[in-house]
């Protein structure tokens, strides 16, 4: 009887530990988002919101995100290129909204100048939206070719 009690306690502790590891705390300067769309290599193109998210997402349709994540997750995503997926991950707050004015699908904003702007006014990774991928799932539909 005692052995069954200890086994039950051990299993409950293991389940609680795994559940606690799945949801990492979100840093103050970031937000956890779910973005539907399509991937190609390390790039992800946001698509229209899936049917189970009628309110839409924080990331506008057509936005390109550079994905970073664990090798296993990135390999799984790469293996599903051509299928619509939804990625869950962390992005920096304010990264998507950006400055400037929207003209159709393009955002026009003030440029940078001076010594801190990098060679030719471009800085490495400047303007590139990044997402730290935590997971993904299949959603209905196919990616455009």
- Residue 120 has what pLDDT? 42
Q: How does the average pLDDT of the chain come out, rounded?
A: 74
Domain spanning 25-111+121-142: which CATH class is it, in words?
mainly beta
- Residue 43 has what pLDDT? 94
What does the domain layout of the chain look like in residue ranges?
25-111+121-142
User: Cα-atom radius of gyration of the chain, to the nearest Å?
Assistant: 20
- Does residue 111 register a pLDDT over 60? no
- Does residue 15 register a pLDDT over 50? yes
- Residue 56 has what pLDDT? 57
Distance CA 134, CA 87 (A): 8
143: phi > 0 → left, psi -120 to 50 → alpha, else beta; which?
beta
Distance CA 44, CA 36 (A): 9
Higher pLDDT, 68 or 16: 68
Higher pLDDT, 8 or 85: 85
> Cβ-count burial of 34 within 10 angstroms (0-12 exposed, 13-18 middle, 19+ buried)?
buried
Average pLDDT over residues 12-39: 73
């Amino acid at each position: 009887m005692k052995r069954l009690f200890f086994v039950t306690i051990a299993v409950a502790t293991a389940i609680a530990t795994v559940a606690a590891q799945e949801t990492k705390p979100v840093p103050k300067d970031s937000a956890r988002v779910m973005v539907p769309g399509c991937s190609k290599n390390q790039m992800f193109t946001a698509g229209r919101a899936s049917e189970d998210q009628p309110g839409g997402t924080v990331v506008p349709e057509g936005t390109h995100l550079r994905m970073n994540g664990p090798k296993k997750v990135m390999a799984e995503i790469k293996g599903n290129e051509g299928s619509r997926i939804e990625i869950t991950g962390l992005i920096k707050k304010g990264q998507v909204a950006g400055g400037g004015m929207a003209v159709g699908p393009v955002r026009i904003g003030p440029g940078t100048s001076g010594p801190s702007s990098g060679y030719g006014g471009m800085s490495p990774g400047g303007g590139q939206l990044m997402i730290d991928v935590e997971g993904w799932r299949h959603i209905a539909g196919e990616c455009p070719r």
